[in-house]
């Protein structure tokens, strides 16, 4: 495969930083972005181009940044939407503006970055869009409803986008990682909303404590995950000679949880088949 140009969001740590290092190690070109340039200067020293990109800014501002990114090497071949954070709290404790803030990064930011790059991909009839979703896009754990909601929303948006753009030679890869050892659960990336309601207080605090305890102790190896994603994009390594699927879970916990939910859903459909399928008009009524 020829040398690819990658644009990656959220590169100050975690998946984003690993993406840049591995992209460069394969001989590709990388454009790393983050809200603060001082957080990604070390990636520039490795050979990446760097740009300031806050995905919560206006569409016009993001369009300008993406245009600058395209101008660096004359094209972009792959965009990786990786920027995200977690809001934790009970439904009754989370304010609407906190929910909007969660979606602003995890959904609307992804929407704006992708919207900015799509004309370039359509014009070239080529490009790969990578979206880092989550196991939480399949399973809503208690007290992280805002995060799960944002990932469920992302899943639907991206599935529709894939069908809209596949005729233009554009590939879409929706990655659903389980728990990987990144800084996603670090204090700077988790926004905990303490419960003021006695009925929730103990369980909500236990969840917040669990998130804190899970910070940088997750079982998943980020290096291994990113290597697989690069293989899927480049159709080499583990993806050599295979048809790359649109949706790709990563991690043993993702495999087990998603598998269990699929089984539960199939059981529901089978168990309630007659009721679920009983809602069409009767044939005689439909003819009247």
Give residue limits of the domains in the chain.
5-250, 252-288
How does strand 86-88 pair with strand 190-192? parallel
* CB contact at 8 A, 46 and 29: no
Report the chain's terminal Cα–Cα distance, integer Å. Answer: 61
- What is the rounded average pLDDT of the residues 75-95? 94
- What is the rounded average pLDDT of the residues 225-240? 97
In the three-class reduction of DSSP (H, G, I as helix; E, B as strand; rest coil), residue 93 is classed as: coil
Q: Note the pLDDT tens digit of each residue in 133-184.
A: 999 999 999 999 999 999 999 999 999 999 999 999 999 999 999 888 766 6
Q: Note the pLDDT tens digit of each residue in 11-43.
A: 988 889 999 999 999 999 999 999 999 999 999
Supply the CATH classification number for the domain 5-250: 3.40.50.720
d(CA 159, CA 244): 15
Q: Note the pLDDT tens digit of each residue in 55-65.
A: 999 999 999 99
For residue 233, the Cα-to-chain-centroid distance in whole angstroms is 15
Q: Which of 177, 188, 181, 175 is nearest to 105 (CA)?
A: 188
In the three-class reduction of DSSP (H, G, I as helix; E, B as strand; rest coil), residue 272 is classed as: coil
Q: Which of 50, 38, 23 is nearest to 226 (CA)?
A: 23
What is the value of pTM for the model shown? Answer: 0.93
Greatest Cα-to-Cα distance within the chain, rounded to the nearest angstrom: 74
Alpha-helix runs per DSSP H in 57-141: 59-73, 96-103, 110-124
* Annotation marks residue 147 as catalytic: yes
* CB contact at 8 A, 151 and 107: no
Q: Note the pLDDT tens digit of each residue in 121-134.
A: 999 999 999 999 99
Exposed / middle / buried, residue 53 (Cβ in 10 Å: 0-12, 13-18, 19+): buried
d(CA 196, CA 93): 7
Task: Flag whether pLDDT at 68 surpasses 80.
Answer: yes
How does strand 78-81 pair with strand 127-132? parallel
Question: Which range, 95-109, 176-190, 207-221, is most confident?
Answer: 95-109
């Amino acid at each position: 495969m020829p040398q690819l140009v990658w644009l990656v969001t959220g590169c100050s740590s975690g998946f984003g930083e690993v993406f840049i290092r591995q992209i460069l190690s394969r001989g590709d070109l990388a454009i790393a972005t983050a809200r603060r340039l001082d957080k990604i200067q070390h990636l520039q020293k490795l050979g990446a181009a760097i740009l300031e990109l806050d995905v919560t800014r206006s569409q016009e501002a993001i369009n300008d940044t993406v245009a600058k990114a395209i101008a660096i090497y004359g094209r972009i071949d792959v965009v990786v939407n990786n920027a995200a954070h977690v809001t934790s709290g009970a439904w009754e404790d989370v304010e609407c503006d906190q929910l909007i803030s969660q979606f602003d990064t995890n959904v609307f930011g992804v929407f704006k970055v992708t919207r900015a790059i799509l004309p370039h991909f359509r014009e070239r009839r080529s490009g790969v869009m990578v979206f880092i979703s989550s196991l939480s896009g399949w399973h809503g754990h208690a007290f992280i409803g805002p995060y799960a909601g944002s990932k469920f929303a992302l899943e639907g948006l991206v599935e529709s986008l894939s069908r809209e753009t596949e005729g233009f030679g554009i590939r879409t890869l929706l990655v659903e990682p389980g728990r990987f050892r990144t800084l996603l659960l670090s204090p700077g990336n988790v926004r905990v909303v303490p419960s003021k309601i006695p009925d929730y207080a103990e369980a909500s605090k236990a969840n917040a404590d669990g998130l804190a305890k899970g910070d940088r102790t997750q079982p998943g190896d980020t290096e291994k995950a990113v290597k697989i994603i690069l293989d899927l994009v480049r159709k080499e390594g583990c993806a050599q000679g295979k048809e790359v699927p649109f949706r790709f879970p990563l991690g043993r916990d993702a495999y087990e949880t998603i598998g269990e939910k699929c089984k539960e859903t199939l059981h529901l459909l089978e168990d309630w088949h007659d009721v679920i399928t009983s809602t069409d008009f009767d044939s005689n009524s439909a003819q009247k």
